Chains A and B, each alone.
Chain A
Amino acid sequence: MSRDHVVGDMTARDFSATYADTYLKFKSRDDDGYYPAKVLDVCMSDDKWAVFVEKINGDKVLLDLKDPSIEVDYRWPTLGFINVEDHAVFVRRKAHRQWKKGLRDLLLDVRVMDDRIINELREAGAKYGALFGKVHYEELYSPEYTKVDEAIEQVISGEKIARCISPKFAITSRYNIENPVLMYKDSIVGVVNNYGGIEIPKMLDHLIPMLERVVPNGYNSISLQP
């Protein structure tokens, strides 16, 4: 991690200007692993300074970054597809003029799989809160992907609207499409047939090597269609 670089090279004022109001990952003595938290403020007194951060669950912690037991991960998460409740979202980063280096809302482009379906479900009585928000940042930083056969089963059965199988691929129901489909980012690239296999048109065979890499165990269920 680049903890030494930041603490050694940046002043408290620099740190505040660069990371306040953005998300970073922190790890302190009592934590099992890194956790994402929002940098709320940088507190300064004489030659000491510390950062005041808020975890996703709302807990607020003061961290002295010069304490060698505290580590900071400044890298952005991978982004791409993440599972959110019964649906999935595809998250991309935008290039944008700004001083802040950490992750913040205005730099994210979020597509919901599939907001028209969710609206229909809401009208039919299903309760859905925000389709993506701060509470889902934990998932953004530590995404868990569903195995392709489980994803197909859960979506076909109607148990889930969508499940992501990798940062780039998801199985999802789409509004006014009879069968679940395979998404590559925000494009529909294949159909889940009635036997639970995925059919991809031959003209998109360039996706196959990518699928082989991301779903090695589920590759047998994927077939090319002329």
Chain B
Amino acid sequence: MDTIQFHYSHNSAEPETTRLGGLISGTRIGVEVEIEDMPDAPKVPGWRCIPDGSLRNSGVEYVFNGPIGGAGAVSRLNKLQAELDGQGTFGPRTSVHVHMDARDMLWSNVCDLVTLYAMVEPYLFSLCGQEREESIYALSLYRGENQITDLINIFRDGPLALNSRVWSKYSAINILSLRERGAIEFRGHSGTSNTAVLCNWINHLLALKAFIHHPDKSLSSLPKMLSTHGPMAMLREVFGDLVNSNREHVLYSEQKLYHGVWVAEELLFHSRMRQVQSTIRENNSGQKQLLKLKDKLCAD
């Protein structure tokens, strides 16, 4: 079976670090932090500082100087927090983007991860900053449902058909980054350099990948778990103990989680729906309804 690294000719994935430093896995990540009002942006070890024209007042973007996982990533986040303390502004235009290494994943794993993400997205947006669910730079799947049709086509057509004509990077989950970097980019989070907040967010993203790779976990069992055991049980199955320290977000997103699951079910069961549609068309062909409509609506 071919991995993302093979499909897009990326360098092979290095072994994951075992020094986790507060993260739940050693998967390599890349982080981009946007900040405004930075005319004298300081240099931060482990980060590149890039002017960003989409931001105001000398806004800049700090970008990981190459992907890194575990304790090394946390160390960089700590350095950024220390250097930016008291500087700049994290206004409504700023965001944090996290790239998660997916080179070791199969295409089917990626499809499952995107589906799992869709399922829990309302909860994740509660963590990100709820006002960002309709962000024009990171539109959520459950508020931008046309993206679901695009995803169904992408899942069907496979990794080589993935390009900027079939997917927009301005989605909350940017899978175009698979082709560019061998990573999945999560664009939802609001701007911050707070290490604790960022580690919490990154751990949730790492948990998605861990769930997909876990041999005993089942994606298709989650909708039923939501129906029978409720949101907390479903989220705990995906994120484990992380939800204990984020209970207010579970409560906030409870009702919206059903929308996430419905989006995911569309991805999971789309082929069944197509099959049912074909069967209904074949077994029920006829013009009876059209004749009734002409009779009622075309009188005179």
Given A79-B145, A117-B293, A203–B275 Cβ distance below 8 Å? yes
B288 on the A face (CB < 8 A): yes
Which B residues lie within 8 Å of A124 (CB)?
A: 294, 298
Q: CB-CB contacts of B261-300 with A at 8 A, as 1s and 0s? A: 0100110010011111101110011111111111111101
- The tally of residues in A whose CB lies under 8 Å from a CB in B reads 57
Nearest-neighbour CB distance to chain A for B61, whole angstroms, equals 17
**CB atoms of B280 and A191 under 8 A apart:** yes
Given A93-B144, A204-B272, A126–B297 Cβ distance below 8 Å? yes
Which B residues lie within 8 Å of A98 (CB)?
A: 136
B157 on the A face (CB < 8 A): no
Bound-state CA distance A161–B223 (Å) is: 33
Nearest-neighbour CB distance to chain B for A11, whole angstroms, equals 10
**CB atoms of B139 and A184 under 8 A apart:** no
Bound-state CA distance A99–B54 (Å) is: 10
Chain B: CB-nearest residue to A86: B297
Interface of B is mostly: helix
> What are 17 A-B interface contacts by the 8 Å CB criterion?
A75-B134, A86-B297, A92-B146, A95-B139, A95-B171, A98-B136, A101-B134, A124-B298, A155-B289, A176-B285, A177-B281, A177-B285, A181-B280, A187-B274, A188-B276, A203-B275, A204-B273
Nearest-neighbour CB distance to chain A for B193, whole angstroms, equals 20
User: Which of A59-67, A139-147, A205-213 makes up part of the contact surface?
Assistant: A205-213
Q: Give the size category of B's interface with A.
A: 35 or more
**CB atoms of B286 and A178 under 8 A apart:** yes
Given contact pairs A177-B289, A178-B284, enumerate 5 new A-B contacts (beta carbons under 8 Å): A96-B168, A158-B291, A178-B288, A187-B276, A189-B273
Which B residues lie within 8 Å of A100 (CB)?
A: 136
Nearest-neighbour CB distance to chain A for B265, whole angstroms, equals 5
Given A99-B136, A204-B272, A204-B273, A93–B145 Cβ distance below 8 Å? yes
Bound-state CA distance A117–B139 (Å) is: 34
Given A2-B131, A95-B170, A189–B92 Cβ distance below 8 Å? no
Which B residues lie within 8 Å of A115 (CB)?
A: none
Nearest-neighbour CB distance to chain B for A114, whole angstroms, equals 10
Nearest-neighbour CB distance to chain A for B82, whole angstroms, equals 28
Which A residues lie within 8 Å of B287 (CB)?
A: 176, 178
Given A93-B143, A121-B298, A203-B276, A176–B292 Cβ distance below 8 Å? no
**CB atoms of B279 and A201 under 8 A apart:** yes
**CB atoms of B281 and A9 under 8 A apart:** no
A138 on the B face (CB < 8 A): no
Which B residues lie within 8 Å of A187 (CB)?
A: 273-274, 276-277
Chain A: CB-nearest residue to B281: A177
B91 on the A face (CB < 8 A): yes
**CB atoms of A204 and B276 under 8 A apart:** yes
A220 on the B face (CB < 8 A): no
Which A residues lie within 8 Å of B168 (CB)?
A: 94-97
